[in-house]
Amino acid sequence: MERFTVKAIQNMLSNKQINSAELFDLYSSRITDYDQTFNAFITNDVEPNVEYITDDKNQESPSDSALTGIPYAAKDIFCTQGIRTTCGSKMLEDFIPPYDATVIKNLKKQGAVLLGKTNMDEFAMGSSNETSYFGSVHNPWDIERTPGGSSGGSAAAVAAGLAPIALGTDTGGSIRQPAAFTGITGLKPTYGRCSRYGMVAFASSLDQAGILALSAEDTAIFLESMAGFDPLDSTSVEESVPQYSQYLEENIRGKIIGLPKEFFDGSLASPYETLIAESIDSYKKLGIVFKEISLPNIGYSVPTYYVVAPAECSSNLARYDGVRFGYRSQNIEDLDEFYRTNRQIGFGEEVKRRIITGTYVLSAGYYDAYYLKAQKVRQLINQDFERAFESVDIILGPTTQTSAFKLGEKVDDPVSMYMNDIYTISSNLAGLPAISHPIGFVEGLPYGLQLIAPHFKEHHLLSLTHQYQKVTDWHQITPKLSMSSESNN
């Protein structure tokens, strides 16, 4: 099945090889025909949410807006007006938001059209898309394996060609890790770059909306329209949005990339180490200079995250009580029992686990030792990055320890699941932008590499990735779709 990039689609539309309605139908049909294999979508029978698409297949598409005619999928954590938004949870199984998230509004304004809402770990808590109430997502490269999480549905959809591009969210790696597991490009922008209004909160100081795409070029095209200051979000930054696509060809020769020794401590198995080394060579050939750096406190990332994120989520999820929206048991007469039953039935195990953890670390007697301590360690990690960026432009590391693991392999061992995030979490803690792009295969499964930049320097991440993607083709290799009789690649 041919995967079209956004760039290619724009060309097809402007060359009138296809019009928006036909394009929308093409992807809708793919989803209908193939998604049973992957379960990447929770809601996929949506009507086009832009006015210019009509039933008249002969109508030409207006070409005035930046993303006119471009179909995209959105992780089911973004509120979409009139379209069910579940966050992968029974709690919101029937929830229909009366409003659009700001990033959805921004994309609508530029003419992009929503294909459907993708599957995700429940309330974005997970690294394998196995905690979804709507069933696990299957990796298009091997359906017995996870696509990663929590934006597993978005990653699988893009990797399988069911959507050209998709929105995800990244709180501890939930865009980058699935991108790495499915062989696509995933960007987490700087904290505050994209509005969080309408993006259901998991951990407010870590969550960021981002993009899963087939290339850096596509990512740049979408980010231009998605990003920007939002007065409805107090944590949104009044920093102007660059024309990211203009930066793709910027001169990267002489840029210095730091290699944290803590990321290269020999713990990666050698096939993965080899792929990283080869990519470093590719970058060197592009004129990049490498330097060893140290992020001494980076080892504390996972414990820090697993104090801060659950703490914030335990509070953010208190609003799900069945009173104004959400799952509600009938015939309960005691208020306490009412709350408890709604939440027992509405939430899955991982969510409950994190709520309990979060409640614990905030509770009287433990606040100082856990929450306050974690926020201090967070500062240490932030300072490590600040110091590092004084001597390097970008930091490079693996995205994950391995390629995609098998479904069911880690569900009973939360801590082992949490360790998946070891390379990605620190950039969320420091609010830094980071991207993952494919760098090859190990035993037929994709593997990715991560670049981290200082605040608001997404354009360097995009230019580096773009120029790497000009001299390599890992990002263009398409998975065989088992249901398809078409061959590909």
Considering only residues 354 through 393, tell me which ones interact with other proteins, judged by CB under 8 A.
355-357, 359-364, 366-367, 369-380, 382
Question: For other proteins, which is the closer residue by CB, 49 or 245?
Answer: 49
| Residue (198 or 258) nearer to other proteins, CB | 198
**Interactions with other proteins, residue window 216-245 (CB under 8 A):** 231-235, 237
Q: Which two tokens stand for residue 193?
A: 């770059």
Task: For the chain, give the number of residues.
Answer: 489
- Residue 150 is a catalytic residue: yes
Active-site residue among 20, 28, 75, 301? 75
63 binds other proteins (CB under 8 A): no
Peptide bond into 128 cis (omega under 30): no
Alpha-carbon span 274 to 190, nearest angstrom: 29
245 given a catalytic annotation: no
How many residues make contact with other proteins (CB under 8 A)?
98
Q: Does 107 bind other proteins (CB under 8 A)?
A: no
Query: What's the min distance (Å) between Cβ of 49 and other proteins?
Result: 17
Sign of CA dihedral 347, 349, 353, 354: negative
Interacting residue with other proteins among 19, 20, 85, 436 (CB under 8 A): 85
Q: Say what angle helices 6-14 and 20-38 make with each other, to 10 degrees.
A: 150
Catalytic residue among 61, 132, 150, 279: 150
Cis peptide before 150 (omega within 30 of 0): yes
Distance (Å, whole) CA 394 – CA 259: 9
**Residue numbers 129-188 binding other proteins by CB under 8 A:** none
281: Cα within 13 Å, side-chain hemisphere: 8
Q: What part of residues 403-462 is at the interface with other proteins (CB under 8 A)?
A: 413-415, 418, 429-432, 455
Least separation, in Å, of the C-beta of 198 and other proteins?
Answer: 4
Q: Which of residues 190-209 bind other proteins (CB under 8 A)?
A: 191-192, 196-201, 203-205
**Residue 75 is a catalytic residue:** yes
Least distance in Å: CB of 157 to other proteins? 21
Of all residues in the chain, what percent are helix, strand and coil, respectively (each to 5)? 40, 15, 50
Nearest to 312 by CA among 186, 142, 123, 154: 123
Side-chain-side CA neighbours of 87 within 13 Å: the count stands at: 26
Q: Write down the least CB distance from residue 363 to other proteins, Å.
A: 5
Best CA proximity match to 172, nearest among 447, 434, 462, 459: 434
Shortest spacing between CB 429 and other proteins, in angstroms? 7
101 forms part of the interface with other proteins (CB under 8 A)? yes
Q: Residues 34, 283, 347, 474: which binds other proteins (CB under 8 A)?
A: 347
Q: Of 40, 46, 70, 92, which lies in the binding site for other proteins, with binding defined by CB under 8 A? A: 92
Dihedral sign of CA atoms 243, 244, 245, 246 in order: positive
**Active site (catalytic) residues:** 75, 150, 174
